[in-house]
Chain A
Amino acid sequence: GNSVTQMEGPVTLSEEAFLTINCTYTATGYPSLFWYVQYPGEGLQLLLKATKADDKGSNKGFEATYRKETTSFHLEKGSVQVSDSAVYFCALSVRAAGNKLTFGGGTRVLVKP
């Protein structure tokens, strides 16, 4: 089956620190990979995506590279801000599952000034 595993939080950082959130997956078929972000009191929103091996998704200073050989899609940001405090979800989809997404458990990130 399809599954996504991401590091448990919370992750607490100081402003301007480097952030990495690990994500690995198993999938039947060739998945597309996503990172969603959930700010306090809101629904999830798409942060970035990658659809094939070696693709790099990027948005708002965040990056993630689709690594097929290690089945990973780690999220990174070089210098976090307080406004990046949120819960981050790694997710995948495969064509056979239509538009259904398989989500990881989420990682809470807290950035302190």
Chain B
Amino acid sequence: DAGVIQSPRHEVTEMGQEVTLRCKPISGHDYLFWYRQTMMRGLELLIYFNNNVPIDDSGMPEDRFSAKMPNASFSTLKIQPSEPRDSAVYFCASSITGGHPYNEQFFGPGTRLTVL
């Protein structure tokens, strides 16, 4: 079975440019999570969706960040304009309702973003 798919795996861009990260969750999963990982701040939950609807976006750092989930098999995280402090590894994860009490999340391989 295919796991969570993220693209691109690596992205290098210049400050001020728009960046779009993409995620395809595991088929049949109805929860999707976006995380950011840095050495300084560790693993942070940015936003998560249930049935394509954003449930909690309190972790989104500022208005430059936006996330969408137009259908059950695709989500994007956009940064516009990007800044050097956005450099991090961004993970997407998915899980399925009814998985409780396990609630296992399946993580993608991550996108390493570098903003110069």
Contacts and interface: CB of A to CB of B under 8 A. Distances in A.
A60 interface: no
Given A43-B109, A98-B50, A99-B31, A51 B102 contact: yes
Interface string B61-96: 000000000000000000000000000000101011
A92 to B, nearest CB: 9
A49 B104 contact: yes
B42 A98 contact: no
Interface stretch (A10-18, A20-28, A71-79, A100-108): A100-108
Interface residues of B, number: 27
A99 B107 contact: no
Given A43-B91, A99-B95, A100-B48, A105 B105 contact: no
A68 B93 CA distance: 28
B12 interface: no
Contact of B45 (A52, A89, A100, A106): A100
Contacts of B31: 98-99
A: interface residue count bin: 20 to 34
Contacts of A52: 101
Contacts of A49: 102, 104
A59 interface: no
A99 B107 CA distance: 14
Interface in A7-52: 32, 34, 42-46, 49, 51-52
Interface of B: 4, 31, 33, 42-43, 45, 48, 50, 55-56, 91, 93, 95-97, 99-110
Given A51-B101, A103-B42, A103-B45, 9 more contacts: A44-B43, A45-B107, A93-B103, A98-B31, A99-B48, A99-B50, A99-B103, A101-B103, A103-B43
Interface of A: 32, 34, 42-46, 49, 51-52, 89, 93, 95, 98-101, 103, 105-106
